[in-house]
Amino acid sequence: MTPELYACIHAAEFPAQALLRLHTGLESQPVAVLEGRAPLETVCSLNRSARLKGASLGMTRLEAESIPGLHLLARSTQTEAAARAVFLECAAHFSPRIEAASQGTACSCVLDIAGVERLFGPPETLAERLRASLASAGLHASVAVSANFHAARLKAAASRGITVIPYRQEATALAKLPLAVLDLPLEHAETFVLWGIRTLAELAALSENDLVTRLGPQAVDWRDLARGALPHTFQPLEADFSLREFCAFETPVDRTDSLLFIGARMIDCLATRAATRALSLASLVVQMELEGGRTYQRAIRPALPTIDRKFLLKLLQLEIAAHPPQAAVVSLTLTAEAGQSSKVQLGLFARQTPEPSRLDVTIARLKAIAGDDRVGSPVLEDSHRPGSFRMESFAIPHQAVSHPSGTSQSSAPKSNASGSAPPRMALRRMRPPVPVRVQLHALKPISFRDREQSFNVAAAYGPWRTSGCWWSTDSWNAEEWDVLAETSSGSSVACLLVRDCAQNAWCIEAFYD
């Protein structure tokens, strides 16, 4: 075993890979990525199929459009940032020590894998698993393993597939690489060309004294690079874990099925990333940039954290159907919050309960029919307004606790079944209140009539006056009467009569049962 061992991951043409990672339908098509200000865009990245078609880096938009069948996409820095986060997450599964080594349009990082053989096997097996992990995330990269940091970096950038450099064979592995891989200053690169030095083997064979005399002390580092012997102080980075996917569209999208096609791929990526850390998706925030500069944002919160792709996609479909964007979509962003999923053990004779996913889908469909503010759990507001409440989403307040006996008991307190509860009068609210016409005597109701019948007041207690929020348009000023009344047929009712003092209108707010 060597004291040092590094694995370099190199993803070439990263701008193109970042865009094609979500546009799965274009993976087999020739694609070129443009950057710059219109109409002076140039090709900054392209895939292998585009090279076979004749496209090349630096080509102008006009030249690229002359190639038949070539798909042109605009470069997106946000999409690349999201893909780079996925790239680093895949690498972090194999080593916590990662150093960024990106250059140009490529995305590269070097992992310190010394001592991980017992977890992932020999370097060849680790490199295969690392490359497979990236491929499952939609990224294609080359991997090189070496005991020298720079040897692994240079070999990964210049080769394809997997390369494992034997210990102390770095100079042999780098010998045939062109001198351009060192990224030398232009004036020194021209000097080496005049000398006839074109490969790393030819540079490694030069005398140290001659190099220092003609090119300065930095030439020694170049020769050590060519030999794979330049030392390096590892500088690991600290990557933040954030579940975010971004996709920018070439042309604005106004069809829901097109949005869901991309959204399905994004949800699949988010669920896979969360599952690798033994996490689930507790919430999903959908943000869309619309034509005209407007922003569309909705939040999806399942009852329980989950990684069920079909279930989350169904919730997304119902949310967009209930609240469609008011313009064509320019870009789509999905941001997820990670959570812990829990398992509940039921008793042997306990009744099977519905799955939480069915409840979420049912609630989403009810919200689409009745409205968001009419489905959920009522919560009293901190206000003196009578009957003031708001609707909040359903939540599970506690989890079931599993006992060794196999039964499941709740942590909520239980009522005493042996004791008899005192009888209580129930107040049944009318939603909406029933308007009535009231006859008064000495400012006290003596009879009232609704749309169907009239009532004679036998007893009236009140008034109880309430008012508030006089400083806003949401003010109220009312007086309440508890009334015991009789109908013409002789039946009696107990109700709550309320008078709106601002509009001088009466209504029945509730009945006493």
What is the per-residue pLDDT across 72-101, written as a single tens digit (0 to 9) for each? 999 999 899 999 999 998 999 999 899 999
Q: Which of these, 500, 508, 456, 505, lies nearest to 482 by C-alpha position?
A: 508
* Mean pLDDT within 454-464: 91
* Mean pLDDT within 6-12: 95
Q: Whole-number mean pLDDT of the chain?
A: 86
CA distance 345 to 192: 73
C-alpha of 408 from chain center: 34
* Mean pLDDT within 163-175: 94
pLDDT at 412: 43
DSSP for residue 228: T
Confidence class for position 38, pLDDT limits 50, 70, 90: confident
- Burial of 365: CB neighbours in 10 Å, binned 0-12, 13-18, 19+: middle
What's the half-sphere exposure (Cβ side, CA atoms, 13 Å) at 474?
A: 4
CA distance 130 to 112: 13
- Residue corresponding to tokens 């579940």: 243
pLDDT > 90 in the chain, percent: 51
| Positive or negative torsion for Cα 45, 51, 55, 57 | positive
CA distance 37 to 61: 11
Q: Is residue 134 pLDDT above 80, yes or no?
A: yes
C-alpha of 328 from chain center: 21
DSSP for residue 400: -
pLDDT of 366-418, one tens digit each?
Answer: 887 877 777 888 888 887 777 788 888 766 554 433 333 333 444 444 444 44
Instruction: Give SS3 for 438.
Output: strand
Instruction: Give SS3 for 331.
Output: strand
Q: Is residue 290 a contact partner of residue 329, using CB atoms and an 8 Å limit?
A: yes
pLDDT at 32: 94
pLDDT of 295-316, one tens digit each?
Answer: 999 999 887 888 889 999 999 9
Q: Which of these, 160, 163, 195, 192, lies nearest to 179 by C-alpha position?
A: 192
pLDDT at 414: 45
| Positive or negative torsion for Cα 198, 201, 205, 210 | positive
pLDDT at 502: 87
Q: Which of these, 486, 504, 506, lies nearest to 437 by C-alpha position?
A: 506
What is the rounded radius of gyration, in angstroms, for the C-alpha atoms of the chain? Answer: 35
Tell me the residue type at 167.
Y
pLDDT at 139: 92
Instruction: Give SS3 for 430.
Output: strand
| Per-residue tokens: 454 | 């009239």
pLDDT of 50-66, one tens digit each?
Answer: 999 999 999 999 999 99
Beta bridge partners of 429: 510
Domains of the chain, earliest start first: 6-171 (3.40.1170.60), 247-339 (3.30.1490.100), 427-512 (no CATH)
C-alpha of 178 from chain center: 42
Instruction: Report which of residues 437 and 25 the model is more confident about.
Output: 437
pLDDT at 472: 82
Q: Is residue 253 pLDDT above 80, yes or no?
A: yes
| Per-residue tokens: 151 | 């040897």
Top-confidence range, 241-250, 417-426, 493-502:
493-502
| Per-residue tokens: 30 | 């020739």
Q: Is residue 5 a contact partner of residue 145, using CB atoms and an 8 Å limit?
A: yes
* Mean pLDDT within 138-163: 94
Residue 377 gets the label, from left (phi > 0), alpha (psi -120 to 50) or beta, of beta
- DSSP symbols for 118-135: HHH-SHHHHHHHHHHHHH
| Per-residue tokens: 194 | 């005049």
